[in-house]
Structure 1
Amino acid sequence: MNRALFSRSVQASKQRRVLAALGGIRFESASPYKKKYYVDPDPQIGDYPNLPQQFYEDRPQRGWWDRQNRRNFGEPVPEQMEVLNMWAPTQYWSPGWKMVGKMWAGFIVTLGTVYFVISKARAERPYVRAFYPYGGLKDELGGVPTRTMASSIEEASLSVAKK
């Protein structure tokens, strides 16, 4: 690494720390681990502050000068004000896949438990099944047994052979 570049970056970081301590000026680091809600500083906005990208709907409800929009008097306006303010579309929270899996598992376990309890707690029949002798009174009532295609062909061929 070039020594001149290294010494310049060390001096710049010292200056930033001093300015931040004295005037409360916030500087964003170039590291990939940035604070939540902050975006990369835009070189086109000049000295305008790099404000957090936080939805006003997520702010606490009380303690604001403008209670409807949850802003204080003189507060700088974010660059994406029309997207972040209270009149923007509502932000919906959606759970992660782990939580969704737990919800599905809970639903299936609950459904299985209800099925098991109902099957075990089912009441006995209040009657006794009827018993019919002679194959369910088939002969007495003149019923015909259920036929298959093979049995009907066989019966037809036997009747033709008898004639």
Structure 2
Amino acid sequence: MNRVFSASTRAAVRAQRTAPGQVAAVRFASRYKEQYYVDPEPQIGDYPNLPHKFAEDRPQRGWWDRQNRRNFGEPVHEQDEILNMMAPTQYRSPGWKQVGKMWAGVIATIGSVYYLIANVRAERPYLRAFYPNGLKEELGGVPARTLADAVEEASS
């Protein structure tokens, strides 16, 4: 038999059931639950149905347990091993607009570097050598060997 109560009614009922030292934790849990609405989960019973929020997304300071970013007596999430600080880091990818701007920046940078290299490059301090008949006469008149010449020489 599931009854739907408001968060303040549930907190009052829980405060009556708990010991006096745990009332602060129950109050924090009820405030945390009021902040984020989560659809009711019928299988967890009267355990608080906390939102699926990563501990990494919480602020860094202001927690009783600074390593796990939790307060004393705060209810543990049903999937704590997935949501706690020891879980793998959640990487958020930027939107397509930002990715497009990044690509435009990369292309503009490469283009500007190419332009600078092509147009600001200093002239060569020498003249290139020019051989009207190629290097045949310059190297002593020996004709270039071909593959056919090498095969003929090897077979004889």
Q: Would you say same fold, with TM above 0.5?
A: yes
In structure 1, the residue matched to 2:73 is 74
In structure 1, the residue matched to 2:63 is 64
User: How do 1:23-102 and structure 2 match up within 5 A?
Assistant: 39-102=38-101
| Letter paired with 2:62 | G
Change (3 A) 1:63 1:143: same
Q: Which runs of 5+ in 2 are unaligned?
A: 13-26, 144-156
Give the superposition deviation at 1:130. Answer: 4.5
Report the more deviating stretch, 114-123 or 39-48.
Answer: 39-48
Give the superposition deviation at 1:131. Answer: 5.6
Q: Structure 2: how far apart are the matches of 1:124 and 1:63?
A: 64
Tell me the secondary structure at the aligned position of residue 76 of structure 1. coil
Q: Structure 2: how far apart are the matches of 1:92 and 1:46?
A: 33
Report the more deviating stretch, 45-54 or 84-93.
Answer: 45-54
Give the superposition deviation at 1:128. Answer: 2.9
CA offsets 1:122-152 (integer angstroms, 9 cap, x no match): 11121234566xxx257x93698xxxxxxxx
Give the superposition deviation at 1:87. Answer: 1.2
| Letter paired with 1:53 | H
In structure 2, the residue matched to 1:4 is none
Q: Which runs of 5+ in 1 are unaligned?
A: 1-11, 29-34, 145-163
Q: Structure 2: how far apart are the matches of 1:125 and 1:42?
A: 77
Give the superposition deviation at 1:64. Answer: 0.9
Change (3 A) 1:122 1:75: same
Q: Taking structure 1 as the reference length, what is the TM-score of the superposition?
A: 0.57
Tell me the secondary structure at the aligned position of residue 64 of structure 2. coil
Question: Bigger radius of gyration, 1 or 2?
Answer: 1
Tell me the secondary structure at the aligned position of residue 123 of structure 1. coil
Q: Identity percentage over the alignment? A: 66
Q: Taking structure 2 as the reference length, what is the TM-score of the superposition?
A: 0.60
| Letter paired with 1:74 | G
Q: Structure 2: how far apart are the matches of 1:130 and 1:44?
A: 87
Tell me the secondary structure at the aligned position of residue 115 of structure 1. helix
| Letter paired with 2:46 | D
Give the superposition deviation at 1:97. Answer: 2.3
Tell me the secondary structure at the aligned position of residue 101 of structure 2. helix
In structure 2, the residue matched to 1:106 is 105
| Letter paired with 2:90 | Q
